[in-house]
Structure 1
């Protein structure tokens, strides 16, 4: 993505993601109601169904599971294996590392009066720190200045470094602060960790972002021999039969927007 297109991206996404895409479809259906009544009715009904389903956590779970095909969360066996690997590398240079991908930056928080991570970024950092405590593995954070923000803004990874140190008493082993999107996250972080002798990455990001993040890291790593173990977070519970999961809600709308956005990015090869 170029900096010239960045200011327009929120408006474009508003038209192609829920609920915007269904509102547009509804307006088209109403416009066709009189000249093409059958088509108009079909479009209106489709828009209404989309508005309803696109705001439910049940449909978001279906999209994540069968469209994005997200990997499962780390289980107790996975954590035990990572602990064993951490102990094996305790006396030498680390060959396994946790990598947290940035999730957004607040240039200046009105609460703290300094740069802060977005809610998404904070969730990823917190999970990465928890994994580091559970396994003993070193931690990296990848995230620079997002598109559209001035170069004077503090890079996201530097904000994460401060929060980890001041609020959690943990130091990040690696800080990659030059990337602006997922592809750059992968390319810059892979180069940084290869130089450090790391052979395995435990990749932390939200579940809906994981398929695209895995693809980017796989492409960046090429034939280097460095492997990836996905550690997705924010998975939805498997309770699609419960009525509440098929009722519109704000969490449902947010999860569907994320899932649709990631699917669109995968299709477009972004």
Structure 2
């Protein structure tokens, strides 16, 4: 079987991403420190405690909220902005490969949050919808699963299906082609609020005018049950992972432009 360079690069980026993000990165620091203790006790203990501190910081609501504040900057889209858009673009966020109740694969909960908001906007505006997401795993592209969810579960028709992309930059580049061919230059971009800075930059670089339509805030006023609890917990740890993921993604995007 011939090696697909794009897919190989995708999995390389995924592997590196896992190693430099929580929970793996702090755990590796702790393990490295403990292994160093027999030879250099002070340095090893410092490294191990650094890993523990990083774990706590990236799962504590106050510090996680601070990380999110620099990402979740786009406001809720208003009626005036909605009137300027020509189409709605909703980005994939992954899938559940084992979903026997749906007959195989389906979108994951992150994608479902985006699809729900996109469906609401589509009903409000009557704008055509583009879904974007490829197939890094399994045989079914995310965009196909997104189309099924929108049309069968939300009763919202999908006009364009972009099913070749493997990351946010490809989402933008590959989606821009059918949109421009249809005369669309101004889009409502639907994705998570924390993902919006990276997604907006990518779509603007692809030549589209972006009206941000963020959803699913993880921090900020009103997040309540997501990040604003006082003690570390699984929900704030997830939000910490998401924030680190997006900051690293922004860094990689700027280094590769």
Same fold (TM over 0.5): yes
The answer to whether structure 1 residue 166 and structure 2 residue 152 are counterparts is yes
Rounded to whole Å, the distance in 2 between the matches of 1:9 and 1:64 is 23
Q: What residue is the counterpart of 1:24 in the other structure?
A: 28
RMSD (Å), alpha carbons: 2.7
Q: What residue is the counterpart of 2:7 in the other structure?
A: 3
Distance change >3 Å, CA 11–CA 83, structure 1 → 2: closer
CA deviations over 1:206-245 (Å, ceiling 9, x no partner): 1222222122112211xxxx41111222213436999963
Residue ranges of structure 1 left out of the alignment (5+ in a row):
86-94
- Number of residue pairs the alignment of both structures matches: 248
Counting only pairs closer than 5 Å after superposition, residues 52-71 of structure 1 correspond to structure 2 as 52-66=56-70, 69-71=71-73
Q: What residue is the counterpart of 1:258 in the other structure?
A: 242
- What is the TM-score of this pair, normalised by structure 1? 0.81
Return the offset for 1:177: 2.0
Per mean C-alpha deviation after superposition, the further-off stretch among 231-240 and 162-171 is: 231-240
Rounded to whole Å, the distance in 2 between the matches of 1:174 and 1:117 is 17
CA deviations over 1:167-205 (Å, ceiling 9, x no partner): 111111322222222111101111111111112111111
Q: What residue is the counterpart of 1:89 in the other structure?
A: none
Return the offset for 1:57: 3.4
Rounded to whole Å, the distance in 2 between the matches of 1:236 and 1:171 is 29
Conservation of the 8 A alpha-carbon contact between 1:103 and 1:121? yes
Distance change >3 Å, CA 241–CA 43, structure 1 → 2: farther
Residue ranges of structure 2 left out of the alignment (5+ in a row):
none
| 3-state SS, counterpart of residue 203 of structure 2 | helix
Rounded to whole Å, the distance in 2 between the matches of 1:14 and 1:113 is 30
Conservation of the 8 A alpha-carbon contact between 1:138 and 1:173? yes
Rounded to whole Å, the distance in 2 between the matches of 1:265 and 1:237 is 19
The answer to whether structure 1 residue 177 and structure 2 residue 163 are counterparts is yes
Rounded to whole Å, the distance in 2 between the matches of 1:244 and 1:126 is 24
The answer to whether structure 1 residue 267 and structure 2 residue 251 are counterparts is yes
